[in-house]
């Protein structure tokens, strides 16, 4: 199931004051026996201190650049004319039921303009279809996926593909992927029905087509394969060969709305 702690997904920032680590070195360099002996000595000492502190300065500069880039990503879609249009209740997969997740469980964005999408992450709910929709509506759950697929093939969309759902337990993967939950349990092979496989394959094929990435095991992955994850889904009973064969068959069909 979707990971439940966005704080683990790289949201932390460097502590304030880390860039000041060079200052004690600079002060200490001027506190030696030659301090104040002659101007040239003082200039040499300051230069040495600057060189010694250069690594910290470079690191601080890199952190500042990263922070600016993240801020640009965060605000890009808010600028006039940049945000992708959206309508209440609109879905990205034809025929999907719209069941909105709590805004606390995803981050609004404007993908793929601000973040490239090149992954599908396959999840298993460890519960029912109704359970997944219920917890995604709960603002204290701190997680959601874009879609939930039921055993009979019915699909619900809870987060627009434009937005970053908190599903993978890895910030980079959240930003680059679409998360698909499947009702059922990892240790119950009967959870994974023919109707579920077929509907999910149509869904994944549409995502691959929309964002122009291949249907292979590099780009269609299980939650267990996400770096840093502590989840095991979709588990040993998920038939990857069958699933990808269905996805590729869908991709060979003429492109439709999904």
pLDDT digits (tens, 9 = 90+) for 142-185: 999 999 999 999 999 999 999 999 999 999 999 999 999 999 99
pLDDT digits (tens, 9 = 90+) for 64-106: 655 555 555 555 555 545 667 788 889 999 999 999 999 999 9
Chain-centroid distance of CA 26 in Å reads 41
Task: Dig out the tokens for 63 from the structure.
Answer: 């952190």
Cα–Cα–Cα angle for 162, 163, 166, rounded to 5 degrees? 145
CA–CA gap between residue 136 and residue 89 (Å, rounded): 16
Strands 177-182 and 147-149: parallel
Is 50 exceeded by the pLDDT of residue 136?
yes
Residue 195 three-state SS: helix
pLDDT at residue number 256: 63
- pLDDT higher than 50, residue 21: no
CA distances from residue 145 to 100, 124, 250, 256 in whole angstroms, order as listed: 11, 11, 22, 23
Q: Which residue has the higher pLDDT, 218 or 12?
A: 218
Tens-digit pLDDT profile for residues 209-223: 999 999 999 999 999
Specify the pTM: 0.73
Mean pLDDT, the chain, whole residue set: 80
Q: Who's near 81: CB < 8 A, 6+ residues apart?
A: none
Give residue 133's pLDDT: 98
């Amino acid at each position: 199931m979707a990971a439940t702690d966005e704080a683990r997904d790289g949201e932390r920032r460097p502590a304030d004051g880390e860039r000041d680590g060079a200052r004690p070195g600079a002060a200490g360099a001027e506190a030696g026996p030659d301090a104040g002996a002659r101007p040239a000595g003082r200039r040499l000492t300051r230069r040495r201190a600057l060189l010694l502190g250069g690594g910290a300065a470079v690191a601080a500069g890199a952190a500042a650049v990263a922070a600016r880039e993240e801020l640009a990503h965060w605000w890009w879609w808010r600028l006039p004319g940049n945000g992708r249009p959206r309508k209440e209740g609109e879905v990205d997969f034809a025929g999907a039921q719209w069941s909105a997740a709590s805004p606390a469980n995803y981050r609004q964005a404007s993908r793929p303009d601000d973040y490239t999408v090149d992954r599908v992450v396959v999840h298993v709910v460890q519960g029912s279809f109704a359970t997944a929709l219920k917890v995604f509506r709960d603002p204290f759950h701190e997680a959601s996926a874009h879609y939930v697929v039921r055993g009979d093939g019915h699909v619900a969309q809870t987060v627009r593909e434009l937005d970053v759902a908190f599903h993978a337990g890895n910030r980079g993967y959240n930003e680059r992927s679409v998360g698909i939950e499947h009702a059922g349990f990892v240790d119950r092979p009967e959870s994974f029905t023919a109707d579920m496989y077929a509907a999910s394959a149509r869904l994944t094929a549409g995502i691959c087509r929309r964002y122009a990435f291949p249907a292979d095991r590099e780009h269609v992955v299980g939650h267990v394969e996400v770096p840093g994850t502590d989840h095991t889904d979709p588990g040993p009973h998920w038939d990857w060969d069958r699933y990808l064969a269905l996805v590729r068959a869908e991709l060979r069909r003429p492109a439709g709305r999904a």
